[in-house]
Amino acid sequence: MANNAEDIENNMDQQQTNTAPEPPQEASVARARSRGGSGAGGGGGGGGDAGGNSSGPEQNGQPPAARPPLVVETEEDEDEEQTLKYGAKHVIMLFVPVTLCMVVVVATIKSVSFYTQKDGQRLIYTPFPEDTDTVAERALNSILNATIMITVIIVMTLVLVLLYKYRCYKVIQGWLFLSSLLLLFFFSYIYLKEVFKTYNVAMDYFTLAIIIWNFGVVGMMCIHWKGPLRLQQAYLIMISALMALVFIKYLPEWTAWLILAVISVYDLLAVLCPKGPLRILVETAQERNEPIFPALIYSSTMVWLVNMADTDGPKRNSTEAASPQQETQQAPIASPTPSSPSQDDGGFTSNWISNQEHQLGPIQSTEETRREIQQMPSARPPPEDDDEERGVKLGLGDFIFYSMLVGKASATASGDWNTTLACFVAILIVSCLFWCHVRVFESPQKPISSQYATPLYVNRLIV
């Protein structure tokens, strides 16, 4: 692997300016990986602090002004390099919140016994009990449970896609609003109750009401409206953790593992197949140049599109991450910015699939437009901290998915920490590979979503 990286790096150093998509991408990915390795040390500590690591874009954003045509070509290469160079770093930036979520879930599982107690209660989606006499019965019941659950998820996804296709936005927004309301108030109420019980702390209704009210309202504001980015991220992590805890508690063992397995497969299918509902959703959103749903994606930084310059092709006009305010701030290039619904705040306006091609889209335009800005005589200084602009998005379903895996592992395993840690490491490796893999093989024309737990969003909506 290291040898390959070096060889490919040598090739790149010979400055092949061919614009064939595959080799530069692979090289860049390899380079990205090696850089990612060095970035891991910095990135791990810095978390979402994207500004620190590389000053690449500033350097690359200022090409030699003397030769425009050549500049365009090398710019494209640099574009690809840039976007992919950021791939690994951003993947690492996503490690932190995912890890945090898992830590919260595992800590709760270990300390608050409520979430591992089997009350005998089940969700209505999993009506078949698993405490049966024979293994065969148990297997059958769990398969039936999983089937029911998956069917519900598929139906919900289809409903969502249909609603979106027929522009029933109000319904969807109301649905999302209610679901986050439920999570932020009801589930956190239960969580607090159990935590207080565990630590044997007396609490009165008045203080509790104040706490829950504050937590909930500020959460709703941060997620659905405007709020500080860190707080938004923190809230998303918390609600993902809450959701994962609910699933861990109420899904019986075998059902849970079966569901996790089937969901991964289903998600890949739903997203990659041309007829898959999620793909339809994404494509519809792209056609309409609209952001999809707020409150279902975690964004590591703000994605600020400088402009959707109309010099770029229509492909790159995925303007979803642009919000009107941002554009008014930075608009030297006259390109009509498509209107996005005003309630979409910057971190969430983009589509709800996780990072890749939607990042490629905006990133290429930012590169372009930034270059143009810099070439134009303009009193406004070029944006300094563009590193922070290219946030990475990960769907909340992924958070819930991973945390559920790790939580289940820690709850049920007898060799406690070993299993949990092994699970955790495995998840990070797999997801990292998955994200990097998708980066290599996609091209800007064909949006491939790497979201592989989007049905869990729907799940979230169901609950």
In angstroms, how far apart are the furthest CA atoms of the chain?
A: 80
> What minimum distance in Å lies between the beta carbon of 218 and other proteins?
5
User: How far is Cα 392 from Cα 38, in angstroms, rounded to an integer?
Assistant: 19
Considering only 82, 126, 141, 232, the residue that binds other proteins (CB under 8 A) is 232
Tell me how far, at minimum, the Cβ of 277 lies from other proteins, in Å: 31
Q: Cite the active site residues.
A: 267, 398
C-alpha distance from residue 43 to each of 4, 92, 139 (Å): 24, 7, 44
Single out the segment in contact with other proteins by CB under 8 A; choices: 132-140, 157-165, 193-201, 364-372: 193-201
- Residue from 3, 15, 18, 207 binding other proteins (CB under 8 A): 207
CB-wise, 335 or 450, nearer to other proteins?
335
Q: How far apart are CA 359 and CA 365, in angstroms?
A: 10
Write down the least CB distance from residue 94 to other proteins, Å. 19
Q: Choose, by CB under 8 A, the member of 214, 375, 378, 418 that binds other proteins.
A: 214
The reply on whether position 210 binds other proteins by CB under 8 A is yes
For other proteins, the binding residues in 386-405 under the rule CB under 8 A are 388
**Options 18, 64, 119, 205; binder of other proteins; rule CB under 8 A:** 205
The answer to the question of residue 197 lying near other proteins (CB under 8 A) is: yes
Q: What is the dihedral angle through the alpha carbons of 408, 235, 453, 150, rounded to the nearest 10 degrees?
A: 70
Contact predicate 385/302, CB 8 Å: no
Quote the CA–CA distance of 61 and 382 in Å, as a whole number. 10
DSSP string, 255-322: HHHHHHHHHHHHHHHHHHSTT-HHHHHHHHHHHHT----TTSEEESS--------TTS-GGG--GGG-
Report residue 443: phi and psi, to 5°: -125, 160
Which residues from 279-308 bind other proteins, rule CB under 8 A?
302, 304
Q: Which of 15, 18, 121, 328 binds other proteins (CB under 8 A)?
A: 328
Cβ at position 326, least distance to other proteins in Å = 6
Site string for other proteins, 345-384 (x = CB under 8 A): xxx-------------------------------------
Residues 6+ apart with CB under 8 A from 195: 108, 112
Binding site for other proteins (CB under 8 A): 193, 196-197, 200-208, 210, 213-215, 217-218, 221, 226-229, 231-232, 302, 304, 325-326, 328-330, 345-347, 385, 388
